[in-house]
């Protein structure tokens, strides 16, 4: 059974810091991995999608890497801003999407 874990569970930082969020999964047989953002009481916003054959994807201040063999992905957020405050979820896809435990991020001015 696929299990997805995220570390840290919560993070509070001053704005401007560069951040690394970690995601690990137990079964490396995945099609792809996605990072999502969720604001309180809201749905999900897809941030980055990495196919199993790829090593990383970038979008603006966000960079996600994937090491499928070791079952790990990281989301790098550069120059964090208060507007980045949200819960970040990674999810691995193999016919169905299994979500990680989430990292609650707070960036204060």
Partner 1 sequence: GAVVSQHPSWVICKSGTSVKIECRSLDFQATTMFWYRQFPKQSLMLMATSNEGSKATYEQGVEKDKFLINHASLTLSTLTVTSAHPEDSSFYICSARDKSVEKLFFGSGTQLSVL
Cβ neighbours for 83, distance < 8 A, ≥ 6 positions apart: 107
Q: What is the Cα–Cα distance from 91 to 36, expressed in whole angstroms? A: 8
Binding range to partner 1, per CB under 8 A, among 18-26, 57-65, 75-83, 93-101: 93-101
Binding range to partner 1, per CB under 8 A, among 16-24, 53-61, 64-72, 92-100: 92-100
- State yes or no: residue 104 binds partner 1 (CB under 8 A): yes
Q: What is the Cα–Cα distance from 4 to 109, expressed in whole angstroms? A: 31
CA nearest neighbour of 102 among 91, 84, 80, 87: 87
Number of residues that bind partner 1 (CB under 8 A): 18
- State yes or no: residue 41 binds partner 1 (CB under 8 A): yes
- State yes or no: residue 102 binds partner 1 (CB under 8 A): yes
- In this structure, what token pair is assigned to residue 46? 């897809």
User: Under the rule (CB under 8 A), what is the footprint of partner 1?
Assistant: 34, 41-44, 46, 49, 89, 91, 93, 96-102, 104
């Amino acid at each position: 059974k696929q299990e997805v874990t995220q570390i840290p569970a919560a993070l509070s930082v001053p704005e401007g810091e560069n951040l690394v969020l970690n995601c690990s999964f137990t079964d490396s047989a995945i099609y792809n991995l996605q990072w999502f953002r969720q604001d309180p009481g809201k749905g999900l916003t897809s941030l980055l999608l990495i196919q199993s054959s790829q090593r990383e994807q970038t979008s603006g201040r966000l960079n996600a890497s994937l090491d499928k063999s070791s079952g790990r992905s990281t989301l790098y957020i550069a120059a964090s801003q208060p507007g980045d405050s949200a819960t970040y979820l990674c999810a691995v896809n193999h016919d169905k999407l299994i979500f990680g435990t989430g990292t609650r991020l707070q960036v204060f001015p």
